[in-house]
Amino acid sequence: MEWSARPSDTAVLAAAGALLGAAAVLLDPLGRILVGGAAVLLLVLAARDRLLRPRLTAGPAGIVVRTVTGSVTAPWSRLRVHVRETRRWGLRSRLLELDTALGPDDAGVLVLLGRRDLGADPGEVARVLRDLRPG
């Protein structure tokens, strides 16, 4: 199983970044900096989404999460899957939490992935991961 950002979301980010970049040329110097910075941010996010495909892969041996600095690989025996729900300013957000630490002395790795990273609801991805886990 694989999860990654939806291609349509990535295309919208890239298009919005390109439009903002083109619009920045028509603005005053301060506007160029602000709008140009927003354009660069959107283009970087679109490139990250494109380069980190698939973001999360699950197989018989465990999971692999692609990050900007490399990949995080964890066997099922070292993996704890949890959905973190928070509510701020009336907005609910859910994150898929993947923890590879076995105990308090183990450094492990904590990976948090949201709906946009996965292209699916984190709760649904957590259910699939729990079903895929052997034993």
Per-residue tokens: 100: 């590879």
Q: Which amino acid is at 8?
A: S
pLDDT digits (tens, 9 = 90+) for 22-56: 999 999 999 999 999 999 999 999 999 999 999 99
- pLDDT for res 102: 65
Asked if residue 82 has pLDDT above 70, the reply is yes
Q: Which amino acid is at 120?
A: A
Residue with tokens 């729900």: 85
Beta-carbon contacts of 9 under 8 Å, excluding residues fewer than 6 positions away, are 49, 116, 119
- pLDDT for res 103: 61
Asked if residue 100 has pLDDT above 80, the reply is yes
Q: Report domain extents, the chain.
A: 2-51, 56-132
Averaged pLDDT of the chain: 91
pTM: 0.81
Asked if residue 123 has pLDDT above 80, the reply is yes
Q: ∠ at Cα 49 (54, 25), nearest 5°?
A: 165
- Over residues 51-65, the mean pLDDT reads 92
